[in-house]
A = this chain, B = another copy of it.
Amino acid sequence: MAQFPQSYTLVISSPDQVGLVAAVSSFVAAHGGSLLESNNHTDLSERWFFMRNVIDVRNLDIDLDGFADEFGRLAQGFDMKWYLRDNQCKRRVVVFASHASHCIADILHRWHSGDLDCDIPCVISNHENLRSMVEWHGIPFHYVPVAKDDKDAAFAEMEDIVGRHRGETIVLARYMQIIPPRLCAQYAGQLINIHHSFLPSFIGANPYQKAHDRGVKLIGATCHYVTEDLDEGPIIEQDVVRVSHASSKDDLVRLGRDVERSVLSRGLRYHLEDRVIVRGNKTVVFNP
């Protein structure tokens, strides 16, 4: 993270057992690492342990590879799933957009003003209308139309573009196409969507129309990882906004845009700061 330039983030999940925090924190301290942030959570019903450490590495007696090697041996003993990230390396985030501009404009502005700590190597869209806005930010724009009768070709091309740009995370900024299972699997835990309803309410298409028809008094948005099951992936963040009988369906759409972009930007931030750990269909989010 930009906030802590010389730091690693170490993220762990494992079966719970006595001594986990002690083992990890002793390891870090023994190598001269200092904990800038440390969060952990024990899911007592599932006996599962989650941990996130941001480690000041200015006095570390070991380099990234050395740390990873040694920690890997410790991790094995505890049956940990873990990863280590050097916070000097920014994540590479490819944005998929469609016609709507509100989410991508927000992401690009945050990135441009230094508020979002990532690289955006390119934007891919099935419409041309956002090209000028994206290119103004100095970001390559790829137009990949999705023909109804040959979606496979389009997604193969998109996958290729992401690959060439070494994209690690894909953000669906109101990209309205269903992502094929192959791509979901390949970018599991790295493919982030914003759904325009408070899931599990109004799953599927036209949630604002459904919300209007039902007469709800709050509408919402949900940021989640994409899995094969549409709108069923692990939820990262949600929020709502109050509406009333006086809100037309168009008002819901308008008010919803604000919730969508703020929920997406928060969810993306949590992801980029390695605050989200997926287990099963749920997330642990060590949000500050």
Chain A residues close to B by CB (< 8 Å): 3, 18-22, 25-26, 28-30, 32-45, 50, 59, 101-102, 105-106, 109, 112-113, 115, 132-133, 136, 198-202, 214-218, 220, 234-240, 244-248, 250-251, 254, 257-258, 262, 281-285, 287-288
Contact = CB atoms under 8 A, between A and B. Distances in A.
A44 B238 contact: no
Contact of A21 (B25, B282, B287): B25
Which one of A106, A198, A285 has the greatest number of beta carbons of chain B within 10 Å? A198
Contacts of A59: 18
Nearest to A37: B42
B45 A215 contact: no
A99 B185 CA distance: 43
- Count copies of this chain in the complex: 4
A214 B240 contact: no
A250 B115 CA distance: 11
A221 to B, nearest CB: 11
Q: Chain A contact residues: over half helix, strand or loop, or mixed?
A: mixed
Nearest to A247: B288
Given A200-B201, A214-B281, A217-B237, 7 more contacts: A43-B245, A136-B136, A199-B214, A200-B216, A215-B234, A218-B239, A262-B262
18 contacts: A21-B21, A21-B35, A37-B42, A41-B245, A43-B245, A44-B248, A106-B109, A200-B214, A214-B235, A216-B235, A216-B238, A218-B239, A218-B240, A244-B287, A244-B288, A245-B282, A245-B284, A247-B288
Nearest to A285: B245
Contact of A35 (B42, B214, B216, B244): B42
Contacts of A237: 217
A288 B45 contact: no
B42 A40 contact: no
A282 B211 CA distance: 11
Nearest to A235: B215
